[in-house]
Amino acid sequence: MKFLHDILEKQKPMFEKGGKLEKFYYLFEAGESFAFTPPTTTPAKGAHIRDAIDLKRMMMTVVIAMVPALLFGIWNVGYQHFLATGNPDAALLDIIMVGTIQVLPIVIVAYTAGGIVEVIFGIIRKHPINEGFLVTGLLIPLVMPPDIPLWQVALATVFAVVIAKEAFGGTGMNILNVALTARAFLYFAYPTDISGTVWTYLGEGGAKNAVDGYTGATALSIAAEAPVGTSVDTALQSATSGWAGAESLFSFNNMLIGVIPGSIGETSALMALLGAIILIVAGVASWKIMVSGVVGALVMGLIFNLAGSTPFMQMMPHYHLIMGGFAFGIVFMATDPVSAAQTETGKWVYGFFIGLLTVLIRVFNPAYPEGIMLAILLMNVFAPLIDFYVIQANKNRRLKRIHV
Amino acid sequence: MNIKTRKGFDINLAGKAALQLGAAEQSETFAIKPTDFVGMHRPKVVVREGDVVKAGTPLFFDKQLEKALYTSPVSGEVVEVKRGDKRKLLEIKILADKQIEYENFTKYSVSDMANLKGEDVKESLLKSGAWINIIQRPYGIVANPDETPRAIFISAFDSNPLAPDYDFLYKNEGQYFQAGIDALKKMVDVPIHLTTNGNAEVSAIFQNVRNVEQHTISGPHPAGNVGVQIHHIDPINRGEVVWTIAPYGVIQMGKLFLDGRYDASKKIAVVGSEVTTPQYYETYIGAKVGKFLKNNLKQDHVRVISGNILTGTAIEKDSYIGFYDNIVTVLPEGDRPRFFLSDGWLAPTSRLSFHRALGLLSFLNPKKERVIDTSLNGEERAFVETGVMEQVVPMDILPLQLVKSIMAEDYDGMESLGIYEVIEEDVALCEFVDVSKHRIQNIVRQGIQLLREG
């Protein structure tokens, strides 16, 4: 590979100070350091050897952990399409084709739009282009409904990267989770495009392609609207009873595996679990946040069970873990190391409250039955405060030791 | 006290020293470098080129700490007083005599030691040059003789990668070690804490030492760091001073009183994957390392480090070993680009990593002795990863928050987050594991410097 490196090296002077394309140095640098680890060695004083890890590898680990959710999402978008349009026995290849055609452009648009913003900021601010976008660029598509217009993906991505990240000083400085900001932007700016029947791709012409009995609802919205006196279980079972081929669409197993309508990558708790295993084994994301998040959701679910007056409140707590975007959110969003609590003790508190608030918002928010996004964004804001108290406790321990 | 730590990381490198003394020609010149003494204010040279000195003759002193003299390790002629930019003193070179002559200091028999007076001890130590073995915490600088420490701490083992075996280094020097301890005890009547390795057999010379409080510590590196031991035994608070001394320093003090001379002889280990025969050599403080590396290197493109690979300083192949160092490590230089698919950031690798992220497979074989080059393995980035540094610092300290408070020049934050308890070596592993490739040790020293000036 030396010849390739030599070719790159030859172009370098053009981008260096005084060169024709000096302005684009960091674009060149990003490309070169993507292909080749730079030959930089450790300084003359300090640690002379360094861990083999770098940020690129770390970020790629997260990307790999998201791949099961992405692949499943592609299949599921296709499958839900055929299910809704009355062809549940479509061939696997057709399903994947439809899914790919629908999902891939969203991924490409998110990466392109975000990438351009990153490069522009890199050039203006004269800093290297950051690897963090490898992850954000895939997270954004995975939390989008399959029917989302591409221009909205681009707009949301640009908004999120500029307002949620670069405005705060770039990667490592952001307070809010960037991908969730993109989703929240759409939720508030274009509410009609991110609720209702958008959770299934119905093809050109939209709702008129749908079969009899088709419902555009998600499991959460059905649960939220279950009439008093019945149970969520019954509501979930009867919601699709008139829909040929999808009579028990919202069964426990379907919700666990993710064969239900929803955001592209969010439906499958199982794929999120697989991602969680990869992240935890790789030591890249905090298992403390994941575990405490699940505990928080279960605790709140149990409290509602005890006090519950509506069917949604009386729903078995573990259903919260497999419905909506909880699993995906707690695994991939809540564990974002920059916007999460950074102290180890803080991570327990942070995760717990995300779980708790998710269920609370789900049950009490009349406008929107999903809560994980708002819970994480809210706790993003509180993370520095949690850290503050953990750090204060550490300082106080130190103060207490003083010999009098 | 028996301390157990779990946090930390043992770096298993190829090129451990065999327990044997190599026969190499003695180096002709020796040098003392003021840069080895962290935080030295302004060295004032008291010799000129051409002067003849004995072992123990003063060469320079620090204008801020005039009482402590920095003396010559050998006898001979001062051949060069090397200065850099703005006349900054870089090193004083001495061409050594074949037979070392010593300055005379008062000699005491073992029984006389009991009548030794604290003031005399201090004066001898300061005059002879043995004093500079005493390092004070906070700050990790040469101790101020006008202050009385709360305690003295001695770590009786080194847990750093490729660290020399103290049992081999100090064989048969038990009586000097004891004499050194006794002298210290006379000088300042404070507890002297001696911590041995709980994971290994205790060296004979540390086993039955009197006048000390014995402790053991077991756990991965940095368990051998005196800072970690202090933290667990009796941590430093704001306004307090403790002293630390390496066993070599204590032995040197013992020799000063029992033999009446400043004896700068020491054993050093020459180690590392690029050394043909890693083993020990007998020499003096400030030795030129060239003789030990001659015909002893596997290749030429190497980095020679005075000290260990976590905290040492890169030196030229024919340069001089640092004052406090007892090892010279030689590593391959890592200045070659790595293609991302073949051996770069996306390819599976068995290069050493504390992490287990995508393709980092070294955790499958933790005991393997590794050859590691000096590649930075990445580029400097903003802090993104959290929770990793905490796993390699076995103290109740939040390293990431401490580092950030230093970068923000937040004085109160630094103080309350524990900067008084750490020096570079205590955060060296943080620097190793840091995904964002920051110079953590350098940052901590900057913080210490800020507090000293502030």
pLDDT of residue B357: 94
Query: Quick one: pLDDT at residue B132?
Result: 97
Residue B142 confidence (pLDDT):
97
Is the CB of B356 less than 8 angstroms away from the CB of A281? yes
What's the pLDDT score for residue A194? 80
Pick A36's closest partner by Cβ from B237, B339, B349. Answer: B339
Task: Provide, rounded to the nearest whole percent, the portion of chain B with pLDDT above 70.
Answer: 100
pLDDT at A369 over 80: no
CA atoms of A226 and A189, how far apart (whole Å): 28
pLDDT per residue as tens digits for the range B409-429: 999 999 999 999 999 999 999
Q: Tell how strand B265-271 and strand B242-244 pair up.
A: unpaired
The verdict on a CB contact (< 8 Å) between B401 and A342 is yes
pLDDT above 70: residue A40? yes
What's the pLDDT at A205? 79
Report pLDDT digits (tens) over A294-338. 999 999 999 999 987 899 999 999 999 999 999 999 999 999 999
In sequence order, the β-bridge partners of residue B100 are none
| B15: alpha, beta or left? (left if phi > 0; alpha if psi -120 to 50) | left
What's the confidence (pLDDT) of residue B113?
Answer: 86
Query: Of B227, B266, B230, nearest to B248 (Cα)?
Result: B266
Burial (Cβ within 10 Å: 0-12, 13-18, ≥19) of residue B367: exposed
**How far, CA to CA in Å, does B154 sit from each of A233, B70, B205, B224?**
68, 22, 13, 10
Helix axes A287-307, A269-282, angle to 10 degrees: 140
Average pLDDT estimate for A149-159? 97
* Angle subtended by helix axes A178-189 and A132-142, to nearest 10: 40
Q: Please, what is the average pLDDT of chain A?
A: 92
One-letter amino acid of B110: V
Tokens of A155: 């707009």
Which of B9, B336, B340 to mutate to test binding with chain A, by most A CBs within 10 Å of its CB? B340
Residue A10 has pLDDT above 90, yes or no: no
User: Residue A48 is nearest to which of B336, B374, B387, comparing CB atoms?
Assistant: B374
| Per-residue pLDDT reduced to its tens digit, B155-208 | 999 999 999 999 999 999 999 999 999 999 999 999 999 999 999 988 889 998
User: B333 and chain A: CB distance < 8 Å anywhere?
Assistant: yes
Residues 182-241 of B with CB under 8 A from A: 235, 237-238, 240
Asked if B338 and A43 come within 8 Å (Cβ–Cβ), the reply is no
Q: What average pLDDT does this structure show over B227-244?
A: 95
CA A229 to chain centre: 35
Is residue B111 pLDDT above 90, yes or no? no
List chain B residues with CB under 8 Å of A287: none
What average pLDDT does range A191-199 have in this prediction?
81
Q: Which residues of B touch A399 (CB under 8 A)?
A: 416
Q: A128: nearest CA in chain B?
A: B381
- Residue A6 pLDDT level (bands cut at 50, 70, 90): confident
Pairing, β B135-137 against β B242-244: antiparallel
**Tokens 């030591």 map to which residue?**
A283
Residue A403: per-residue pLDDT: 62
- Say whether residue B344 is in contact with chain A using an 8 A CB cutoff: yes
pTM: 0.95
pLDDT over 70 at A398, yes or no? yes
Least reliable range by pLDDT among B23-32, B74-83, B189-198, B303-312: B23-32
Chains A, B: CB pairs < 8 Å: 228
The whole-number pLDDT of residue A404 equals 54
A3 bridge partner residues: none
